[in-house]
């Protein structure tokens, strides 16, 4: 029976994480950095030597994510960017990487800098050109983000996997493992900034990689790099992450319902020019998202208000429940004027990125109504 459990059950039981020492139904927090040997200098626990690679709390959180992803193996990192860096550091000098354009700016900026320093050819292309770029450039690695942040573009993972022999890495942060399973769609590695929806409480910085093939050389390289470079999530953060994931399916369900309702409402508002959200039928990626996402389209959307930068800032400044802060996927709704953060990326001055939380949808809609007056 335990092999066929649904995500809600896996999450609620934290994939079976308990505290056998006390009998507690919640796993214990073990902060020790080093572990005992007996009088013969044999390890008391053969799997625990030093916390840079050995941590029960880390293993417990990884086990939950592995089950939710349907993965062969999962590794946690101290941030989403640390997880991305571990993937790209497997590329040798002279390799080629194809990367989707218009994704999270922090990812793009780091990849550009890294590939320049390492003499790696970087090819950045729009979603519509990914397959053609793979055919032309024969990359070693393809990195995409779907739904993308903040444009909410959708990548057809299965079609792209069929179009390339490269290692396909999918950043599925905005979807979480509850709404999309990239490994089942043909991706080789799925990445999340677990800081976002997976944790969902804006109090943990973490990243995660999962693979469908734990025997692949790239996975061996990533695992060795994590240990050698010390890119390890701390036990307290891993414990918090495990606790947060117990409610992940419930949180994602509510966020998705709220985001869909808000997107539909704002799309019909006379002071809104457009809403970028895969759940809207007019969205260019709607059909693909509907096919590869189950249970909804996530809690992230972007709103183009009519008017100028000043009009957008006035709306952002007038919102009361939507907190003005950077990030997404938390239980509290957030709003951000992206052009203020990254004016050099070509982001429209009237675009407002919205992370929809779990509040009452009537309250959220009313907040936008008064802000748009």
Profile the chain (373 residues) by mean pLDDT over runs of 10 residues. 84 90 91 92 90 90 97 98 98 98 96 97 98 98 98 98 98 98 98 98 98 97 95 96 98 98 98 98 98 97 97 98 97 96 92 98 98 96
Measured between alpha carbons, how far is 74 from 99 in angstroms, rounded to an integer? 23
Per-residue model confidence (pLDDT) at position 2: 66
Facing residues of 274 across strands?
A: 304
Q: Strand 121-125 to strand 96-100: parallel, antiparallel, or no bridges (unpaired)?
A: parallel
CATH architecture designation of domain 248-371: Alpha-Beta Complex (3.90)
DSSP 345: G
Which of the following is catalytic: 67, 153, 188, 196? Answer: 196
Place of tokens 């799925």: 190
Facing residues of 121 across strands?
A: 96
The two tokens of residue 76 are 């946690």
Place of tokens 């590869």: 292
Contacts of 122 by beta carbon, 8 Å cutoff, 6+ apart: 96, 97, 99, 111, 112, 115, 116
Distances (CA, A) of 75 to 21, 29, 50, 81, 310: 25, 19, 17, 13, 43
Task: List, as own/partner pairs, every contact residues 360-368 make where C-beta atoms lie below 8 angstroms and the sequence separation is at least 24, other chains included.
Answer: 361/257, 361/258, 361/261, 361/262, 363/321, 364/258, 364/262, 364/321, 364/322, 364/333, 365/261, 365/262, 365/265, 367/319, 367/320, 367/321, 367/322, 368/262, 368/265, 368/266, 368/269, 368/319, 368/322
Crossing angle for the helix pair 80-88 and 105-117, to the nearest 10 degrees: 30
Which of the following is catalytic: 52, 89, 290, 306? Answer: 52
Measured between alpha carbons, how far is 77 from 58 in angstroms, rounded to an integer? 10
Whose CA is closest to 266, among 290, 282, 250, 252? Answer: 282
Which of the following is catalytic: 56, 67, 73, 104? Answer: 104
Residue span(s) of the chain under CATH 3.90.1150.10 come to 248-371
8 A C-beta contact, residue 144 and residue 120: no
Q: Would you call 171 a catalytic residue per the annotation? A: yes
Q: Would you call 41 a catalytic residue per the annotation? A: no
What is 2-245's CATH number, 3.40.50.300, 3.40.640.10, 3.40.462.20, 3.40.50.720? 3.40.640.10
Q: Would you call 52 a catalytic residue per the annotation? A: yes
Q: Strand 351-355 to strand 300-305: parallel, antiparallel, or no bridges (unpaired)?
A: antiparallel
Residue span(s) of the chain under CATH 3.40.640.10 come to 2-245
Which of the following is catalytic: 56, 73, 156, 171? Answer: 171
Considering the entire predicted model, what is its pTM? 0.95
DSSP helix/strand/coil, 154:
coil
Place of tokens 């990254």: 342
Q: Would you call 360 a catalytic residue per the annotation? A: no
Per-residue model confidence (pLDDT) at position 155: 98
Distances (CA, A) of 209 to 81, 187, 344, 373: 11, 12, 29, 44
């Amino acid at each position: 029976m335990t092999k066929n459990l649904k995500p809600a059950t896996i999450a609620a039981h934290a994939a079976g994480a308990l505290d056998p020492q006390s009998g507690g139904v919640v796993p214990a927090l073990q902060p020790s950095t080093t572990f005992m040997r007996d009088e013969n200098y044999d390890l008391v626990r053969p799997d625990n030597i030093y916390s840079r690679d050995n941590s029960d709390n880390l293993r417990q959180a990884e086990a939950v994510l592995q089950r939710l992803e349907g993965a062969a193996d999962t590794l946690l990192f101290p941030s989403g960017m640390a997880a991305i860096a571990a993937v790209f550091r497997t590329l040798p000098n002279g390799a080629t990487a194809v990367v989707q354009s218009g994704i999270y700016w922090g990812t793009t900026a780091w990849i550009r800098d890294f590939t320049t320093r390492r003499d790696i050819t970087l090819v950045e292309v729009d979603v519509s050109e990914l397959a053609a770029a793979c055919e032309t450039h024969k990359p070693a690695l393809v990195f995409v983000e779907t739904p993308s942040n903040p444009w909410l573009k959708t990548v057809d993972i299965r079609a792209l996997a069929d179009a390339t022999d490269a290692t396909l890495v999918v950043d599925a942060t905005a979807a979480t493992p509850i709404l999309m399973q990239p490994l089942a769609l043909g991706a080789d590695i799925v990445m999340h900034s677990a800081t976002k929806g997976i944790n969902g409480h804006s109090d943990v910085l973490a990243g995660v990689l999962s693979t469908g093939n734990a025997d692949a050389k790239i996975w061996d390289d990533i695992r060795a790099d994590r240990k050698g470079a010390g890119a390890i999530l701390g036990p307290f953060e891993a414990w918090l992450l495990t606790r947060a994931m117990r409610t992940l399916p419930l949180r994602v369900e509510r966020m998705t319902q709220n985001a869909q309702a808000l997107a539909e409402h704002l799309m019909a508002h006379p002071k809104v020019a457009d809403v970028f959200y895969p759940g809207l039928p007019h969205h260019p990626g709607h059909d693909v998202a509907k096919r590869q996402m189950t249970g909804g389209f996530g809690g992230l959307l972007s709103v183009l208000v009519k008017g100028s930068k000043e009009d957008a800032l006035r709306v952002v400044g007038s919102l009361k429940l939507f907190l003005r802060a950077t990030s997404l996927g938390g239980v509290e709704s957030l709003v951000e004027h992206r052009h203020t953060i990254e004016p050099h990326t070509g982001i429209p001055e009237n675009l407002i990125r919205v992370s929809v939380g779990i509040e009452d949808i009537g309250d959220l809609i009313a907040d936008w109504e008064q802000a748009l007056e």
